[in-house]
Amino acid sequence: MDRARKRGREQYAAVVNQVNNVPDVYGVKKRALEKRIRHDVEHHSDNDEFGDDLHDTIISDTIATAQYLIDKMSFTEKAKHTETVMKLPRVCFLHQIYSVLSDNTAVDRELQEAIDLGTWRKFYVLGSLEDEFAIMNTSDYISMIRDAKREFTEEKNDNSKRATITTDLFDRFEEFALDGKHNDVSVSQKSKDFPFNDKEISCLIHYGLLLPHAQKTDIYRFAIRRQGIFMSHYLKSRVEILRILKKRSTHDILEKQLAAKKLRSIFRYEFILHDLVGSGRAEL
């Protein structure tokens, strides 16, 4: 089992090392990355020395890429240490992974497997299109729920009007959200096991854990806290790079030229390039 864990970490490291320089203008490095991933997966699949434990331990290409986008490619080094960024959610978008891994069907399948296992979550985010889902590691999601609980506790001490609601609400919400039956992006209030009353729903919305569906009554989406601030910076970063492309007569730019520009974004330019390419707003 220890050897299986070690092999899983090695595979993750291989993906991390290869994805570091993606995207590139002509897609050469991207294709090399995909080739390396396929080789590693085939190699491990053919190796029966570690049995089923190995397959349970290996990180899929999709999850390795998502984790790397979040850990290493999201915020600039300067922004990482600011109070604003430290409070922002640790997420990436599904279409960003599409920009790295060409087999979208495999990406969807591997992500769903991780969701079914309870290790990752998928979310709709305000300001994005209906099919532009954000994904988050479940451990980060749990931390987010508990952060909302801490904030509630601090505010409750100064607000007697919230006396009818206790911190138990957040514990019950965590248990509800992590139940395997509720791993979709939304939940119906009419569901038999939906345990929250109207006051509790309002509280969960206030603390950024639920989001009312815009068109469907009694449907609530599991939400990401501080998504408004995140998307405000994200969309500004997207517009900033698109404007650079539009101002050029050829409407394109070498990646090294873009890297040399002093952007105002709190995000690394690579993170936004993966967004633009994966969503079809730009091409490599």
Which residues have C-beta within 8 Å of that of residue 32, sequence separation ≥ 6? 18
- The region of weakest confidence among 17-31, 199-213, 270-284 is 17-31
Half-sphere exposure of 239 (CA within 13 A, CB side): 6
Q: How far apart are CA 175 and CA 166, in angstroms?
A: 15
Confidence at residue 59, expressed as pLDDT on a 0 to 100 scale: 86
To which residue do tokens 């320089």 refer?
21
Mean pLDDT of 185-199: 94
Extents of the domains making up the chain: 137-225
In the block, which residue shows the tokens 């009818």? Answer: 164
- 22 has a pLDDT exceeding 90: no
Lowest mean pLDDT among 32-36, 201-205, 254-258: 32-36
pTM score: 0.79
In this predicted model, what pLDDT tens digit does every residue of 109-124 receive, in sequence order?
A: 999 999 999 999 999 9
33-42, 108-117, 158-167, 256-265: least confident range: 33-42
DSSP string, 212-276: E-SSSTTEEEE--TTHHHHHHHHHHHHHHHHHHHHHSTTS---HHHHHHS----SB-HHHHHHHH
Q: Is the pLDDT of residue 44 over 70?
A: no
**Residue 164: what pLDDT?**
83
Pairwise CA distance, residues 92 & 130, whole Å = 15
pLDDT given for residue 251 in this prediction: 87
Residue 109: per-residue pLDDT: 97
Q: Is the peptide bond before 23 cis (omega within 30 degrees of 0)?
A: yes
Residue 23 pLDDT > 60, yes or no?
no
- Position 192 confidence tier, pLDDT thresholds 50, 70, 90: confident
Share of the chain above pLDDT 70, in %: 77
In this predicted structure, what is the pLDDT of residue 54?
36
Query: What distance in Å separates the CA atoms of residue 123 and residue 277, rounded to the nearest whole number?
Result: 20
Q: What is the pLDDT of residues 155-189, one digit of tens each?
A: 877 665 556 899 999 999 999 999 999 999 999 99
Checking if the pLDDT of 19 tops 60, the result is no
Is the model's pLDDT at 53 over the cut of 80? no
